[in-house]
Structure 1
């Protein structure tokens, strides 16, 4: 019952997305299953040694450091909730440390490659699927929004008068993102073309499939991956790579870090600062290529 109470708390009080709640639930089910089979204990009687055994179990089964860290974060939140509810008297997570995860720089695609993709007539035509596909790429690169944010967009979220898009981000936090006149015109053209399709099943979502159904994550990911393959040989070709490209491009052109934070919808500046490392690495590369003493 305690797990259900925690998930209800996340949904109604923390206002987490259904995707995030599903991840918490999966982690807790896995942990509960391990504890019952290994120690025959309820979750409220777990001690730090049991959590450490769970860590060892995960590592023995080749679970990556990032995933282990995320699951421990789930447990930390869960037991913190139980502590506040006076269901337990002490959290078993107090003496548990997550494994160190090496920091990875955000993967991005150079502006020149994205310009080659989006400005060329080679990759897109005037058909509805092609116009929609190009709009998806342009919107990710032109706004830095997340995949879930794009999928939740409605036509009414676009303000063509002042060239902005209203986005509902994580934890139902709303923000307004400015867009270029070019992207605004592309959005207008897409909405008109979408109306002309006369889809039987009208959806409220801005992005739809070829049949007019509401777009879904795998559908959008496959589109992004397919088109980025034309201009990039790197392994990662996802909507989040375009989000990273947006942020890196802004930073390289002198945008204020706090402004980038607001545009991306980050909760803290620490999440945004990772992009500064990309800029430093870029400067090092330029220095090595251009300076005679490098």
Structure 2
């Protein structure tokens, strides 16, 4: 059956080939007065070629995606997420793990390729990486680069329960107070009595520290540039480290974790991670029956209940009052 003029061609190439049928489409006349023709794929049978040509006319982006490299699609995805300001540092860092696949054609990357990379990371990173891959392939499907989300076939590594976050006990908080004045103990107490992430503390600007609260936060829309109330008990600690420098504490997260925290010599810190301070704050606020939305505002979590929208403009005074219900355990 003859195809309509301008629709494209499907014909068989000479020689022994695994996919001998080529599909070619035209894009009009070029500057040299010749027909501008472009092959869009090779197929095992003529019918497969005809089906591909039909898809091209129905969804040209689908076959256009066949030519893109994995790296090109990742970059498009990052640009898309950046434009909506909906991407975290950990999300971007996890996608960098996929760099070995960047030169491959996007359509040739398999779930097995992705699984091998996930298996080469830590359990916590593999959890984040699966979420990032799921978002990447959802974006690719939205742009008709693929019809399958390979993330559905991936299995992240199981997280060792011994590494899960759990709160400091009252006795451990008391132990930290016995070491007040030491840098790591002071930072741990700030994390516990503000609910900050370690990354938020290490990027906090001195200019954003006020008498009863700070302006800071990273990672999520709800967490960025939020009001972080200061518990009265840690005000002297914060004042001790304030200076005319830009950052409250100038140190990388890895340096703090690997050197300061692990080598602090404080027994209770060897059983915890810096993030446990944040978890401790949230747990103590819950135990004190603080309003859930107030807790979300302090911690920087987005509200999930419909009624939460009523509380989106809680005052600084309410947040400061809430943080000060926490017992100090001195």
Can you give the 5+ residue segments of structure 2 that lack an aligned partner in the other structure? 1-71, 306-330
CA distance in structure 1 between the aligned counterparts of 2:290 and 2:214, rounded to whole angstroms: 20
Distance 2:174 2:106 in 1: 53
Which has more strand, going by share of residues?
2
Aligned residue pair count? 229
Partner residue, 2:95 = 24
Unmatched tracts of structure 1, length 5 or more = 37-41, 196-202, 208-213, 271-294
* Cα distance in structure 2, aligned partners of 1:56 and 1:97: 6
Structure label with greater radius of gyration: 2
User: Relative CO higher for 1 or 2, CA cutoff 8 Å, sep ≥ 6?
Assistant: 1
For 2:248, which of 184, 206, 212 is the aligned residue?
206
- 1:82 and 2:140 aligned: yes
1:190 equivalenced with 2:241 (yes/no): yes
Partner residue, 1:110:
169
Q: Give the alignment's TM-score, normalised by structure 1.
A: 0.65
For residues 69 and 15 of structure 1, do their structure 2 counterparts lie closer, same or farther at Cα, with a shift above 3 Å needed? closer
Q: Indicate the SS of the match to 2:228.
A: strand
CA RMSD across the alignment: 3.2
Deviates more, 1:92-101 or 1:138-147: 92-101
Query: Tell me, what secondary structure is at the counterpart of 1:109?
Result: coil
How far does the alpha carbon of each residue in 1:26-60 deviate from its partner, in whole angstroms, 9 at most, with x for none?
Answer: 2x224557xx5xxxxx11354xxx31x2466468x
Q: Structure 1: how far apart are the matches of 2:216 and 2:81?
A: 21
Give the alignment's TM-score, normalised by structure 2.
0.58
Q: Secondary structure at the match of 1:171?
A: coil
Shift of 1:206: 0.7
Tell me the distance in 2 between the aligned counterparts of 1:101 and 1:14. 30
Distance between the aligned counterparts of 2:294 and 2:197, measured in 1? 17
8 Å CA contact 2:166, 2:276 repeated in 1: yes
